[in-house]
Amino acid sequence: MILTTHRFANSLTIFRATICMTILLNLQHHHRSWAWIFLLLGGITDILDGVIIRKAEKSSIWGATIDPLTDKLLVFVPIIWLTYQGVLPICAIWGLLARELLISTWRGNQRNGGPASRIGKYKTVVQFTSLLLLIFPVTWFKTSVVFFFHGLGWLLFWFSMILGLYSAFEYLVPRLNQKRASNL
């Protein structure tokens, strides 16, 4: 049963990885509606595979490695496109990339991958919501409503950056204190 559960969860991860290219192609060809739907679908599959693995109470090494990488792709694809379009500044990519590399390296050095912090999970939800709002299709509502969504998405994106920095400090400060204590 666990093997089947892992296969299904891993299949969702692979599906989510393929969605990333679909999102980018749709954004590039001005099909925001499809890009938005695929981004939402990617978020739903991320939640679903997390629920499945938690219920199984055991994750596979492959899933523990590939799932976070796929999650980062799902977030970075629209962020890179939004930066290319001039919606987000390039410092947003550099800040996120630095934070993700730092945290991923730290978590990768932990025996069990290191658990995601509560603030880190909040950051992910806020960041994902911001991306859905930032790429929200202009054709779905009145222009004023869509501009409101885009503005709210922009604010939430920067709030997610603050949460990301806070969660990075939350990860690193105890580790640095532990290292200092061991050097004494």
CA 100 remoteness from chain centre: 10
Name all domains of the chain by residue range, CATH numbers in brackets: 2-183 (1.20.120)
Q: Where does residue 43 rank: exposed (0-12), middle (13-18), buried (19+ CB within 10 A)?
A: buried
* CA dist., res. 99 & res. 18, Å (int): 24
pLDDT digits 0-9 by tens, 174-184: 767 776 777 76
Rounded mean pLDDT of 53-81?
Answer: 79
Query: Is residue 34's pLDDT more than 60?
Result: yes
Yes or no: say if 158 and 66 are a contact pair by the CB < 8 Å rule.
Answer: no
Q: What single DSSP character describes residue 182?
A: H
Output the average pLDDT for the chain.
82
Higher pLDDT, 2 or 160: 160
Entry pTM: 0.81
Question: Which has the closest alpha carbon to 150: 86, 96, 75?
Answer: 86
- C-alpha to C-alpha distances, 1 to 5, 6, 7, 51, 83, nearest whole angstrom: 6, 9, 10, 15, 44
Rounded mean pLDDT of 126-154?
Answer: 89
- Assigned token pair, 118: 């509560």
Q: Per mean pLDDT, which range of 5-9, 22-26, 44-48, 163-167 is the poorest?
A: 5-9
Higher pLDDT, 152 or 113: 152
Query: Is residue 169's pLDDT more than 90?
Result: no
